Amino acid sequence: MCFDIDSEPPVPRIAGAAVSHEHVTLTAADGNEFAAFLATPEEPARTGVVVLPDVRGLYRFYEELALRFAERGHAAIAFDYFGRTAGVGARDDQFDYWPHVELTTEEGVQGDIAAAVARLREAGVEAIVAVGFCFGGRTAWVAAASGHGLRGAVGFYGHPGLALAHVPEMTVPILALQAGDDERITPYWNQLFEAALTIADVEHELVVYDGAPHSFFDRKQDEFADASEDAWRRTLAFIAANT
C-alpha cells in the first residue's frame, strides 16, 4: 500500500466549493460489479478524471482526491480493483489486499476503466484524463493504449517496466511523476521509459523529484511538500492542456 490508511492528499480544500459525491456500483462489460466513488462539481463538468488507486484499491485517500478534483471543476471517479474477488461491500482497515492484487488481470482492470469512463460520459463529461498512483500509475499509462478515448494519462511513481510493451499503442500524452529515491523504480527504468516514448513519438514529460521517496504525495510527508505541490500543479496543467 502506498499510503497509510489515514493519509490525505497534500492538496488544499477549496472552502465553499459546491461539490456532490456518492458511492456507486459500476458494471463492466464482462458483468463484474465493483465499487466506485463519484465526485462532481455543482456546474456540469466538461472535463473528468478517472482516479486509479494504489494496490490497496479504493479507500479514503482516493475519495478525498476525487473531491479535490471536483472542487476544481473536474468530475472525478475513483474505483476499486477487486470487485471480482472481494465484492463491493465495505472493508475495514485490516483488509488483506495483496491476494486480490495477485488475482487482477490487465484485461479485467482495463474493462473496469472502460466502465468508469462510461459513467463520466453519462454525466456529460467530454474530455477525460486518467490519473494513477503506483499500481494505478502504470495502469493509467496502459489505459492510454487501450482504446478508452482518453485525452492523457498521468502516473505517480508507476513502474515503467510494466508499461513498456504498450508504448507503441499509446495515442495520447503521458505525464510521469517519479520519486528520485525509489528503490524499485530506478533511473534505469525511467530512462528506458522515456527513450521508448521518444522512439514511439508519444508526447510526454517525465519528472523525477530528487530525494523524494515512493509515495511522497502525502500530507504526512511534510519534508516533500514542495515536490507534492509541484506534482499537483503539473497534473492540473496537464489536464488543462489536454482537455
**Mind listing the pLDDT tens digit for each residue in 100-138?**
999 999 999 999 999 999 999 999 999 999 999 999 999
The structure's pTM equals 0.97
Domain ranges, residue 75: 19-242
- What angle do the packed helices 135-143 and 106-122 form, to 10 degrees? 70
Count structural domains, the chain: 1
CB neighbours of 95 closer than 8 A, spacing ≥ 6?
Answer: 56, 86
CB 176 within 8 Å of CB 169: no
Closest CA to 54 of 92, 80, 26, 23: 80
> Residue 92 belongs to a domain with what CATH number?
3.40.50.1820
Asked if residue 224 is part of any domain, the answer here is yes
| Residue recorded with cell 478524471 | 49
Asked if residue 67 is part of any domain, the answer here is yes
Query: Which residues does the chain have with pLDDT short of 50?
Result: none
Residue type, 231: A
Phi, psi at 52, each rounded to 5°: -110, 110
Asked if residue 175 is part of any domain, the answer here is yes
Determine the pLDDT at residue 18.
84
**Cα(99)–Cα(232) distance, rounded to whole angstroms?**
31
Asked if residue 4 is part of any domain, the answer here is no
Centre a 10 Å sphere on the Cβ of residue 121 and count the other Cβ atoms it contains. 14
Average pLDDT, the chain: 96
Give pLDDT tens digits for 177-191. Answer: 999 999 999 999 999
Asked if residue 204 is part of any domain, the answer here is yes
Cell numbers describing residue 119: 459513467
Determine the pLDDT at residue 5.
82
Centre a 10 Å sphere on the Cβ of residue 190 and count the other Cβ atoms it contains. 18
Determine the pLDDT at residue 1.
56
CA distances from 58 to 25, 94, 137, 205, 213 (A): 12, 14, 14, 27, 22
Determine the pLDDT at residue 240.
98
